[in-house]
């Protein structure tokens, strides 16, 4: 073999080996940055995931602490509702009241069933307004050793009769096709049949309605129900009204909480409401069939009492307009019964100047609330009314009038009658041709002074601060 040829081949192989080493060396230099970059990205991803997980854990712990703080605050509200049920005039947690409302803070520990302290709540109490019945409770809940706080403000009270636009005790209730009741309706001891419209809840204590339309479910009819049909439900205790009326009399007569008038020794009293005062008359003579006053004598003109209570132990005629006033007028003699019980007659408009809640009128009587024969063609009564043992009505005078508007609420024992119709033709033969019944929503949480209540203490409103 040619020696030159062999040497040439050897040089070629050595060159190839050197090129391969050079190539591999350069390739290793290219891979290293890519590997480092991938590692950095991977580590950053891991760190991000771990950080996010830790952040989520912290957020979850904070969320749980906030939920616990809210539960503690709610416990504070429930505690003071229980406290008021056992002592309804204690607004300082069993301690002497210091300073001005809201009273507090009153600090309580919050424990679990084993007695371990989980946190605490502070209470701040604002008593009802004069003549009112709603207590405001502010509760601040806090978890032990933690910073999150939750604050709840609740209004606590016993719901008044004003929560119902219409409530009846011992009579079936029929809402006619041309009638609309704005708000809630309740019936004790009978059913409700609706052919008109009820915008709120409709409730009955009975499972069935037995009346003019046969046997039906407790709340029924082809009319419009804007709220729930609730039956059977717990009845309203109308018998408690006797105690309420007695307390109102004693507060006004013996406690100096209002104006009290004994028997007129005549036919009754006439109260004419004015913006800032009222005229008081003794009624000497009235029409026995139409209840319109024929003769009366002025006793005097009086400013409204600070408590708002005017209690008359006789029949009372009421009409007029108030302005920025809160009053409750009672016609009752708690010491009599039967046909000696007292009533209220309305001979004219009873109206507010303001419809923002600053004006309030309560009318409470043992028997009937009557609209007299010569009342206006178009009538308006702005008031919360209770006829304990009787009806709210206009008698059948054979007069066809225009519209009856009630802005407020009505509770009665045996009936509500604004219209008399011919059963066969359906035509109106007496009374008011059309009616409007509108709920005064301002009275639901803040009724007229010392207005009777129903049931037990409840949370009337709730919000987080």
Q: How confident is the model over 148-161, as pLDDT tens digits?
A: 789 999 999 888 89
Q: What is the pLDDT of residue 383?
A: 98
In a domain, 92, yes or no: yes
Average pLDDT of the chain to the nearest whole number: 88
Reported confidence tier of residue 58, pLDDT bands at 50, 70, 90: low
Residue at a domain's end among 157, 187, 222: 157
| Residues 165 and 151 grouped into a single domain | no
| Residues 183 and 318 grouped into a single domain | yes
Please check the confidence at residue 23 and state whether its pLDDT lies above 80.
Answer: no
In a domain, 17, yes or no: yes
Q: What is the pLDDT of residue 8?
A: 55
Of 1-10, 76-85, 233-242, 390-399, the range with the lowest mean pLDDT is 1-10
| Residues 101 and 229 grouped into a single domain | no
Reported confidence tier of residue 191, pLDDT bands at 50, 70, 90: very high
Mean pLDDT, residues 381-404: 96
Q: What is the pLDDT of residue 12?
A: 53
Please check the confidence at residue 349 and state whether its pLDDT lies above 90.
Answer: yes
Residues 6+ apart with CB under 8 A from 187: 167, 168, 172, 173, 203, 204, 205, 206
| Residues 168 and 208 grouped into a single domain | yes
| Residues 282 and 182 grouped into a single domain | yes
Please check the confidence at residue 10 and state whether its pLDDT lies above 50.
Answer: no
Q: What is the pLDDT of residue 13?
A: 47
Mean pLDDT, residues 63-80: 88
Quick one: what percent of the chain has pLDDT higher than 90? 65
Residue at a domain's end among 112, 127, 157: 157
Please check the confidence at residue 198 and state whether its pLDDT lies above 80.
Answer: yes
Residue at a domain's end among 134, 157, 180: 157
Tens-digit pLDDT profile for residues 249-303: 999 999 889 999 999 999 999 999 999 999 999 999 999 999 999 999 999 999 9
| Residues 141 and 206 grouped into a single domain | no
In a domain, 460, yes or no: no
| Residues 109 and 234 grouped into a single domain | no
Please check the confidence at residue 164 and state whether its pLDDT lies above 80.
Answer: yes
| Residues 196 and 339 grouped into a single domain | yes
For 176, the domain range is: 161-454
Please check the confidence at residue 26 and state whether its pLDDT lies above 70.
Answer: no
Please check the confidence at residue 47 and state whether its pLDDT lies above 80.
Answer: no
Residues 6+ apart with CB under 8 A from 361: 273, 322, 327, 328, 329, 350, 352, 382, 383, 384, 408, 448
- Count how many domains the chain has: 2
Reported confidence tier of residue 248, pLDDT bands at 50, 70, 90: very high
137: its two tokens: 């409770």
In a domain, 170, yes or no: yes
In a domain, 463, yes or no: no
In a domain, 464, yes or no: no
| Residues 168 and 299 grouped into a single domain | yes
In a domain, 465, yes or no: no
Q: What is the pLDDT of residue 425?
A: 80
pTM of the model: 0.78
| Residues 2 and 33 grouped into a single domain | yes
Reported confidence tier of residue 62, pLDDT bands at 50, 70, 90: low
In a domain, 462, yes or no: no
Each as own residue / partner, the long-range contacts of residues 460-464 (CB below 8 Å, 24 or more positions apart, any chain) are: 460/134, 460/154, 460/155, 460/156, 460/157, 460/159, 461/154, 461/155, 462/77, 462/152, 462/153, 462/154, 462/155, 463/152, 463/153, 463/154, 464/70, 464/150, 464/151, 464/152, 464/153
| Residues 152 and 176 grouped into a single domain | no
| Residues 58 and 170 grouped into a single domain | no
């Amino acid at each position: 073999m040619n020696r030159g040829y062999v040497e040439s081949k050897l040089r070629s192989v050595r060159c190839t080996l050197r090129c391969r080493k050079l190539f591999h060396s350069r390739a290793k230099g290219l891979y290293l940055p890519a590997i480092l970059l991938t590692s950095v990205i991977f580590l950053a991803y891991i760190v991000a995931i771990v950080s996010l997980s830790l952040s989520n854990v912290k957020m979850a712990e904070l969320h749980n602490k906030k939920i616990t703080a809210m539960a503690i605050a709610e416990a504070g509200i429930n505690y003071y509702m229980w406290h008021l049920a056992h002592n309804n005039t204690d607004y300082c947690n069993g301690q002497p009241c210091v300073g001005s409302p809201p009273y507090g803070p009153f600090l309580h520990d919050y424990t679990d069933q084993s007695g371990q302290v989980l946190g605490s709540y502070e209470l701040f109490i604002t008593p009802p307004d004069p003549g009112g019945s709603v207590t405001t409770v502010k509760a601040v809940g806090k978890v032990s050793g933690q910073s999150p706080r939750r604050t709840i403000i609740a209004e606590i009270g016993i719901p008044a009769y004003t929560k119902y636009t219409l409530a009846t005790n011992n009579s079936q209730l029929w809402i006619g096709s041309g009638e609309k009741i704005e708000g809630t309706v309740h019936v004790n001891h009978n059913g409700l049949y609706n052919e008109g419209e009820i915008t709120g809840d409709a409730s009955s204590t009975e499972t069935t309605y037995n009346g003019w339309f046969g046997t039906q479910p407790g709340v029924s009819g082809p009319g419009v129900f804007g709220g729930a049909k609730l039956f059977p439900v717990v009845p309203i205790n109308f018998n408690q009204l006797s105690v309420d009326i007695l307390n109102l009399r004693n507060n006004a007569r013996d406690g100096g909480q209002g104006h009290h008038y004994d028997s007129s020794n005549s036919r009754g009293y006439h109260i004419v409401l004015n913006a800032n005062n009222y005229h008081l008359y003794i009624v000497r003579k009235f029409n026995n069939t139409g209840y319109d006053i024929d003769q009366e004598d002025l006793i005097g003109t009086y400013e409204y009492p600070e408590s708002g209570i005017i209690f008359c132990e006789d029949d009372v005629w009421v009409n007029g307009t108030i302005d920025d006033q809160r009053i409750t007028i009672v016609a009752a003699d708690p010491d009599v019964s039967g046909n000696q019980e007292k009533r209220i007659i309305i001979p004219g408009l009873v109206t507010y100047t303001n419809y923002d809640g600053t004006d309030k009128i309560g009318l409470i009587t043992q028997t009937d609330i009557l609209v007299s024969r010569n009342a206006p063609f178009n009538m308006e009564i702005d008031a919360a009314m209770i006829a304990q043992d009787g009806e709210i009505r206009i008698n059948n005078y054979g007069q066809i009038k225009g519209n009856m508007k009630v802005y407020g609420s009505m509770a009665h024992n045996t009936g509500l009658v604004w219209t008399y119709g011919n059963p066969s033709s359906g035509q109106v033969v007496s009374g008011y041709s059309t009616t409007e019944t509108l709920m005064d929503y301002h009275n639901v949480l803040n009724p007229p002074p010392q207005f009777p209540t129903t049931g037990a203490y409840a949370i009337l409103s709730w919000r987080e601060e």
